[in-house]
Structure 1
Amino acid sequence: MIFLWNISIVCGLLFHILHGEIFTSVYKLSILANEEGKLLRAFKKYIATQIRDQRSISLELQRLLNDLESAVTDSSQNPRYAENPINSFHLLGRFVYKWPVVYSNILCAECRLDDAALYLNTTYQIVNMNIVHWPGEYDVKASAQALLRLRTFYYFNIDKAINGVLFDEQCQPLNPSQVLKIIRIAIDSNLLHEAKLWCEALLRRLPFTSYQDENINELAINRFLAAIYNQAGMHKKAAGVLLELTQSGYSEVDQEYEFYKNSINETDEKQNIALVAEEYDNHYKQLCRENRKSPREYSKLYCYLSVTSIPYYNAKVEIANLQPKILVFHDVISETEASYLRQEGSKKFERSTVISESSDRVIPGADTDRVSQTFNIALETSSAMLINIPEDAAVLR
């Protein structure tokens, strides 16, 4: 899955050039995936013990084991599982929404703590110590936002991604609940066009048969779609989506329909969902795609070919911004270089430095929400990282 290393490592190289450090979360996610295998083994041991001793097992625990076993076996045994952004979304979601439920069902105050339960508790403590920071809702949201950014940059097929194929690479399929999670995050991030596309893709997959998705039907998805149109200023379109559903017997739908209908302003009605800069920024996403640009734009922003450590291969370097100067390197990381960064970085990773939300003050190591870590590395002294610096790229010197 080279595409993820291209994104994370190339951006990391740029960050190193500008700020002196490399940012990546793949290493940390790989630790999560490996540690998750320990949790699964302890969970399976507990279930096996209950069966052996002829004790009852709750339906919720049985369903959790069925949901977790296949995915966690794959994530813990496949060293490249976490490199796929959809797999990462799954991985973080399991740590936030599923493993805490396993823990609370087996280690509750009223639960019988046999040896298997105590072993599970010990395993939880070891895993928690090894991963340092247990992922939270913030991480799931950040993972979904990264997937949305990837979609707007490379325009991957949403239907295929939901089915578990991303850039011709197999990954874990997304269930309807997870797609709705992505849609909610897209709406909250004001990526309304993307939210609409994911809604339409979900409608094409109806009906759903899993017990997990019994409440996700055409009515529920269309309510999301109507809300998206309404937020985009397309009130007439929003009312039209719900018009045929007003006789379904749900008063909430009738109330939403009346609200959208009463909000219609024929003279100020939007015809299309506007594409905000976060979705389709011309300078960043279109420059190296051979799209036509005005002479004025070409005079400020351009691409050039730069030699790389790969013999006979020149890669595109994109000047994405002039003040401050930002360069984006396209496809310049080889497998050898990626391996070197993994090996060297794992020796000296530290918690990421963050900016306090209450001020512009830098607070080193204060971030307890994100799963990312950073490290410093002298690239110019490494035989594995032979960086060739173009003369006209002063920012690289």
Structure 2
Amino acid sequence: MKYGHLTFLVFLSFWGITLVISDLYLSVHRLEELAKYEPALLAGIKKYVDAQPLGVPANIVRFINETEAIISNKKDVSHDIRHPINTYHLVERFVFYWLYLFEKLACKKCTKVTAVKDFKAAHHAALHNITRLPVMRDLNGTMRGILRLWRTYKLDINKLMQGEVLGYRGRGLTHKDVVRLIMYAAEHPEFYYEEIVLRTQMVHSLKGTRLYHGGLFELASAYYRHGFINIAKTILESLLPLGDQTLTAAYDYCLKHPDVNVTKTLTAPESDKPSYEALCRGEIKSPKELSKLNCNHRRTLIPIYWSKEEIFHHDPRISLFHDVISDREIDMVLKSSVFQLTRRYSKDSTIDENEDVLATSWLSELKTKAVVPLTRRIQLITGLSTHVSRSYSDSENYEINNFGVGGMQKPHVDFLNISLGEYQKKEERSIRMSGDRVATWVFYLSDVERGGATVFPEIRVRVPVIKGAALFWYNIKRNNDKDQRSLNAECPVAKGSKFVCKKWILEAGQLFRRKCGLSPVSIDT
């Protein structure tokens, strides 16, 4: 594997591609951009194949034909890269097939072939904009995203294998794809349930073939490894008539386990975040609670300008303001930020496979003057100061997020537990003494077909993604206590490319704009 990666890096250097350390699976947008270049690569490879007098291996021809069928039929469900199963297939093609073809073309002897030189010249401009092509880590991240969607939304395994996710069809999973998912789940014990269910499906599909008994043995091994000894014993017992010494030895070993007679049933594991996952699957407020919510026109700092507010919760107040950013402004924000999307590093956690699945970039009013009207609009609607300058600021820079395959953000609070005037050496100079995050404002820059809601588990609030709207809430109470009820999270995106633009409003500048309440339990209205 190390040699393959080394060869891959040599290839990238050969083609003049610049490497940026950022995972593609963290951003659906970057994967969509990757898909745009595949037709050019396919045309070049076909030209190379046509120039070979002795032909090429059958597996390469098969790959070219299958890829061409997918790319040419734009109406086919396989073409939509916003579908997680289709994304998996795209990344898999690059990791296992395109990488192999790149290595073949990068060899010293091959570079003397005229067709290869033409291929390089014809596609250098297109490939120059790809900062990094997928590697195995991206495929692993994509598979983890599919397993996360399965668990969070309790997907039907049969529909999932056919490529259906919450009613949206994509290209189905082949026998080989299922094996890869099984191997990934086997390496990550938290997905033991998914591993066993996938192995069971595999065994059913192998019935009547010479691989059936081997599949049963692997299934028994998985049950044993995850502590279901009685089930493993039953399966191995059914294989004893085959007379295989290995199977007999495994059965005898199973009988020696102290829990061999303990009956355990395979069930889906209980979630460590049950309220979060329940909210992601749908609204869990009662009809009586929902009846207290309403929409209204809310006054702003300008008497003749009213905002359209949809109230999702009264205490703490959580509001969705509709039609607060135009399509033109959305395009401006995206064009100014998408090329800087990169991995987000949290200030209080290490990077691991359980991290938030999103890519991040930042926009400053000082460098991108086009976002200044958005900042003024936030101040106009909320009444809070969003002033930004080089010397001091009352709000942070904009954070733009694009979510990846099964993209999500785990439950967290936005406040930082710091005080106004407390010096923060690691922050930008203008906000080092601006205090904590009083409030959060989130522009929704895109729609998503399924999933991706913003949820507040402590108060059972679920807000759907609506392009052009903005979500607003307070993180600190009016008596200056941190509001733990502001715990929020982003649900996994089942289909779509979700873009959001966040602005955190700080304590500095709010002294006369958001005054202390007359009682410790005063609420915002």
- On whether the aligned pair clears a TM of 0.5, the verdict is yes
Query: What is the DSSP-based 3-state SS (H/G/I as helix, E as strand, rest coil) of the residue aligned with 2:102?
Result: helix
Which position in structure 2 is the counterpart of 1:40?
42
Separation in 1 of the partners of 2:85 and 2:296? 30
Q: 1:46 corresponds to which letter in structure 2? A: Y
**Is the alpha carbon distance of 1:265 and 1:351 closer, same or farther for their aligned partners in structure 2, counting shifts above 3 Å?**
same
Which position in structure 2 is the counterpart of 1:231?
225
Separation in 2 of the partners of 1:127 and 1:115? 20
Which position in structure 1 is the counterpart of 2:205?
205
Separation in 2 of the partners of 1:164 and 1:92? 16
Q: 2:169 corresponds to which letter in structure 1? A: Q
Structure ID, larger Rg? 2
Q: Does 1:59 align with 2:58?
A: yes
Compute the displacement of 1:31 (Å): 0.9
**Which runs of structure 2 are paired with 1:123-134 in the superposition (5 Å)?**
128-134=127-133
Q: Does 1:286 align with 2:278?
A: yes
Q: Deviations over 1:309-358 (max 9, x none)?
A: 9x9996968x9xx9xxxx9x9xx999x989975763243232424549xx
Q: Deviations over 1:141-190 (max 9, x none)?
A: 11111111111122222212212333332211111111121122223332
Contact 1:139-1:371 at 8 Å conserved across structures: no
Separation in 1 of the partners of 2:48 and 2:311? 53
Separation in 2 of the partners of 1:147 and 1:168? 15
Contact 1:164-1:174 at 8 Å conserved across structures: yes
**Is the alpha carbon distance of 1:238 and 1:84 closer, same or farther for their aligned partners in structure 2, counting shifts above 3 Å?**
same
Which position in structure 2 is the counterpart of 1:99?
98
**Is the alpha carbon distance of 1:256 and 1:266 closer, same or farther for their aligned partners in structure 2, counting shifts above 3 Å?**
closer
2:33 pairs, out of 31, 34, 49, with: 31
The TM-score, its normalising length taken from structure 2, stands at: 0.52
Contact 2:73-2:79 at 8 Å conserved across structures: no
Which position in structure 2 is the counterpart of 1:86?
85
Q: Which runs of 4+ in 1 moved over 6 A?
A: 75-80, 290-293, 311-317, 336-340, 359-363, 391-394
Contact 1:354-1:362 at 8 Å conserved across structures: no
Higher share in strand: 2
**Is the alpha carbon distance of 1:24 and 1:341 closer, same or farther for their aligned partners in structure 2, counting shifts above 3 Å?**
farther
Q: 2:264 corresponds to which letter in structure 1? A: Q
Contact 1:229-1:273 at 8 Å conserved across structures: no
Higher relative contact order (CA 8 A, sep 6+): 1
**Is the alpha carbon distance of 1:37 and 1:292 closer, same or farther for their aligned partners in structure 2, counting shifts above 3 Å?**
same
The TM-score, its normalising length taken from structure 1, stands at: 0.67
**Which runs of structure 2 are paired with 1:243-322 in the superposition (5 Å)?**
243-246=237-240, 248=242, 253-266=247-260, 269=262, 271-273=264-266, 275-276=268-269, 279=271, 281-287=273-279, 289=282
Contact 1:186-1:195 at 8 Å conserved across structures: yes
Q: Does 1:389 align with 2:472?
A: yes
Q: 1:194 corresponds to which letter in structure 2? A: E
**Is the alpha carbon distance of 1:181 and 1:264 closer, same or farther for their aligned partners in structure 2, counting shifts above 3 Å?**
farther
Query: What is the DSSP-based 3-state SS (H/G/I as helix, E as strand, rest coil) of the residue aligned with 1:376?
Result: strand
Indicate the RMSD between aligned Cα atoms, in angstroms.
4.9
Which position in structure 1 is the counterpart of 2:144?
145
Which position in structure 2 is the counterpart of 1:374?
360
Separation in 2 of the partners of 1:161 and 1:308? 41
Contact 1:306-1:315 at 8 Å conserved across structures: yes
Separation in 2 of the partners of 1:219 and 1:125? 50
Separation in 1 of the partners of 2:341 and 2:357? 9
Separation in 2 of the partners of 1:308 and 1:43? 58
Contact 2:228-2:264 at 8 Å conserved across structures: yes
Query: What is the DSSP-based 3-state SS (H/G/I as helix, E as strand, rest coil) of the residue aligned with 1:131?
Result: coil
Structure 2 segments unaligned to the other structure (5+ residues): 1-24, 298-306, 364-370, 378-442, 446-466, 478-485, 487-503, 506-525
Separation in 1 of the partners of 2:358 and 2:474? 33
Contact 1:337-1:385 at 8 Å conserved across structures: yes
Q: Does 1:221 align with 2:215?
A: yes
Query: What is the DSSP-based 3-state SS (H/G/I as helix, E as strand, rest coil) of the residue aligned with 2:360?
Result: strand
Query: What is the DSSP-based 3-state SS (H/G/I as helix, E as strand, rest coil) of the residue aligned with 1:82?
Result: coil
Query: What is the DSSP-based 3-state SS (H/G/I as helix, E as strand, rest coil) of the residue aligned with 1:191?
Result: helix
Separation in 2 of the partners of 1:225 and 1:44? 42
**Which runs of structure 2 are paired with 1:153-168 in the superposition (5 Å)?**
153-168=152-167
Compute the displacement of 1:373 (Å): 3.5
**Is the alpha carbon distance of 1:262 and 1:361 closer, same or farther for their aligned partners in structure 2, counting shifts above 3 Å?**
closer
Contact 2:152-2:277 at 8 Å conserved across structures: yes
Contact 1:29-1:371 at 8 Å conserved across structures: no
Query: What is the DSSP-based 3-state SS (H/G/I as helix, E as strand, rest coil) of the residue aligned with 1:159?
Result: helix
Q: 1:271 corresponds to which letter in structure 2? A: K
Separation in 2 of the partners of 1:339 and 1:206? 54
Higher share in helix: 1
Contact 2:229-2:257 at 8 Å conserved across structures: yes
**Is the alpha carbon distance of 1:158 and 1:233 closer, same or farther for their aligned partners in structure 2, counting shifts above 3 Å?**
same
Separation in 2 of the partners of 1:258 and 1:42? 57
Structure 1 segments unaligned to the other structure (5+ residues): 1-22, 209-213, 294-301, 364-369
Q: 1:282 corresponds to which letter in structure 2? A: P
**Is the alpha carbon distance of 1:142 and 1:305 closer, same or farther for their aligned partners in structure 2, counting shifts above 3 Å?**
farther
Question: Quick one: percent identity of the two aligned structures?
Answer: 19
Which position in structure 1 is the counterpart of 2:9?
none
Query: What is the DSSP-based 3-state SS (H/G/I as helix, E as strand, rest coil) of the residue aligned with 2:160?
Result: helix
Separation in 1 of the partners of 2:223 and 2:78? 41
